[in-house]
Structure 1
Amino acid sequence: MTELLDDLREAYLKEMEANGHSYPFKTAHQLAHRRLALPADELVELILSAPRLLASRAGDLIESEEEGANPTIGAIISANLVAAGMDGLMMVATKRDWLERDEHGDLLVDAHELDLCKPVLGVDYTKTPKEFVPQTGRSQLSDLFAAAETAFESALSSETMDAYQLSLKIASDYAVFAPDDLAPLLAENPLMLGLRNDGLVDPEMFNQDPPAGMILSAHLTEMMVAQMVDHAIEKGAIGMDSEGQPLFVDDEEPPTLH
């Protein structure tokens, strides 16, 4: 992370020298997106080295209208990287008197220059990275799901609660939330950077702006519950209606992370 930001600073200084110190904000905006909106394979490597990036939230940092309302995990993290890069470059610009701040500390940028800064779409993290090669053999994620299913099957015959409620209980026991634990799972499959909140995290949590890692946790928990429900259906522990849909007690809603 530090190396990325140092390289960005050096590139900014070179470009500003080359263009006669013109358009300091626009130059920073373009460079930060070009250098820090990383492709999926590079982004997961960075997350592995700095799992705290999974605590990133979207806030008002995402410029793309396509990503703004329901951004992907990758878009959230990239937007925070770009914002961090821009903060550093604006410090450089003010120290070198390329930009000024008002009495409130806000940057004073010419309106014409701001008009030249168009929203950047960024990387589409829903697409499989070109360099991604799925690992062979068992993954940490498959081991985690297998352990949860084993626990579920073991408890299914002895628990008094219905199978669906049991799946929720087991999923909560095996859910992964810590960034240090989530980062390796994400590295196994960078395509998970394309996951979106999609209402899985309780909107009352985090002021409707959940961290990227919490969104990933919610999806993994949902997948775990779905796997256990499928297993329960196969065992006859959950019935089906006439249309082939599972019959849950009291028509529970799909799990939402609270």
Structure 2
Amino acid sequence: MSGLLTALLEDVRAEYVARMQASGCSEPYLTAERLCHEVLFIEADRLAEIIEQDPTLLAARAGDLIMNRQESENPSVGVIICCNILAAALEGLLAVAVEREWLDIDEEGNVLVDEEELNQDSQYSIDVDYSTSEVATRNIALGGASKLSGIFSAAESAFLDALQENSRTKDAYQQALDISSDYSVFAPEEIAPLVAENPLLLGLRPEDLIDEDLFEGDPPAGLIISAHLTQMMLQQMLELGVENGVLVLDSSGHIIVPDEPKEPPTLH
């Protein structure tokens, strides 16, 4: 666990104890749940720092953790990661409640919560906007090559080299598919630096880019980023194909691709 996240969770624990003592130790479960939802939807720039320290967070999946109907249908990467942090934090706070005898456990070690607390309709708003980032704005203003632009440039060069060897339309399209797969970034430790450089990646959503059969329709947060970057890379190379005369546009301005391409870009 990253140092930043550890410190944040320690602060949440201290605040939980303070709130419980101030309320006469009432509603231990709801107090924990409300506090976690207030504090643990972390704004984009801070969350990007946490992910840079702990890339394994990119393996998080939404599951049934998102208690917000609007976000649960097509959640952003940031929301998915924060919901997993929140679930772990809530478990920790309930352990504190048991330790301080605010809650009991049964013979199997399960935490016993009053039905009145569990039966309350817990719909929490998510007010963090993952489409804004001071870090991303600053880095764009500074200019210069970014880590992501370096990956795209390398893929572009590989595609242009491939076109020189074979400029047939069908082969050009398949080459674009192959190269976008070869240069895609999938490992959490490779994605984390890109997120740190551009926290706006935390605002990406599945958007039907990932086959429903993969991961049972519940893709890891990092794979959602990978799918978008792969799609962007493919589109960039197809546009290069048009510029180099090996692919053409239809009357609507869309790139005409060969029938029945072998495979879409591979998501490992």
The alignment's TM-score, normalised by the length of structure 2, stands at 0.89
Alpha-carbon deviations, 1:155-182, whole Å to 9, x = none?
A: 1121465211101111111111111110
What pairs up with 1:27-176 in 2 under 5 angstroms?
Answer: 27-116=31-120, 118-129=122-133, 132-135=136-139, 136=142, 137-159=144-166, 162-176=171-185
Measured in 2, the distance between the counterparts of 1:149 and 1:132 equals 23
Question: For this pair of structures, how many residues does the alignment match?
Answer: 258
| Secondary structure at 1:89 match in 2 | helix
Measured against aligned partners, the alpha-carbon deviations of 1:202-244 in whole angstroms (never above 9, x if no partner) come to 2211111110001101111110000000111111111222332
Query: Match of 2:34, as an amino acid?
Result: Q
Aligned residue type for 1:60: D
Aligned to 1:196: 205
**Structure 2 letter corresponding to 1:139:** S
Counterparts of 1:187 and 1:206 in 2: how far apart (Å)?
26
SS at match of 1:134: helix
Cα offset, 1:107, TM superposition = 3.1
Q: Give structure 1 regions of 4+ aligned residues with deviation exceeding 4 angstroms.
A: 251-256
The Cα of 1:132 is off from its aligned counterpart by 4.8
**Does the alignment pair 1:178 with 2:182?**
no
CA distance in 1, matches of 2:15, 2:222: 31
Q: How far off its partner does 1:245 sit?
A: 1.8
**Alignment match, 1:3:** 7
Q: C-alpha displacement at 1:114, in angstroms?
A: 2.9
Q: 1:181 to 1:154 in 2, by over 3 A?
A: same
5+ residue gaps in structure 1?
none
Q: Is the 8 A contact 1:218 1:256 kept in 2?
A: no
Q: Is the 8 A contact 2:136 2:197 kept in 1?
A: no
> What residue is the counterpart of 1:257 in the other structure?
267
**Deviation larger for 240-249 or 58-67:** 240-249
CA distance in 1 between partners of 2:233 and 2:138 (Å): 20
Q: Aligned in 2, Cα 1:176/1:256: closer, same or farther, shift over 3 Å?
A: closer
Corresponding residue to 1:24 among 28, 31, 42: 28
Contact 1:140 1:185 in 2 (8 A): yes
Contact conserved, 2:133 with 2:199, CA < 8 A, in 1? yes
Change (3 A) 1:255 1:54: same
- 1:12 aligns with 16
| Counterpart-to-counterpart distance in 2, 1:3 and 1:117 | 30
Are the aligned partners of 1:12 and 1:28 in contact in 2 as well (CA < 8 Å)? Answer: yes
Q: Does 1:207 align with 2:216?
A: yes
CA contact (8 A) 1:37 1:122 kept: yes
Greater shift, 3-12 or 113-122, is seen at 113-122
Aligned-partner Cα distance in 1 for 2:203–2:55: 17
Structure 2 gap ranges (5+): none
Equivalent AA in structure 2 for residue 184 of structure 1: P
Could you state the TM-score of these two structures normalised by the residue count of structure 1? 0.92
- Aligned residues of 2:27 and 2:117 also touching (Cα < 8 A): yes
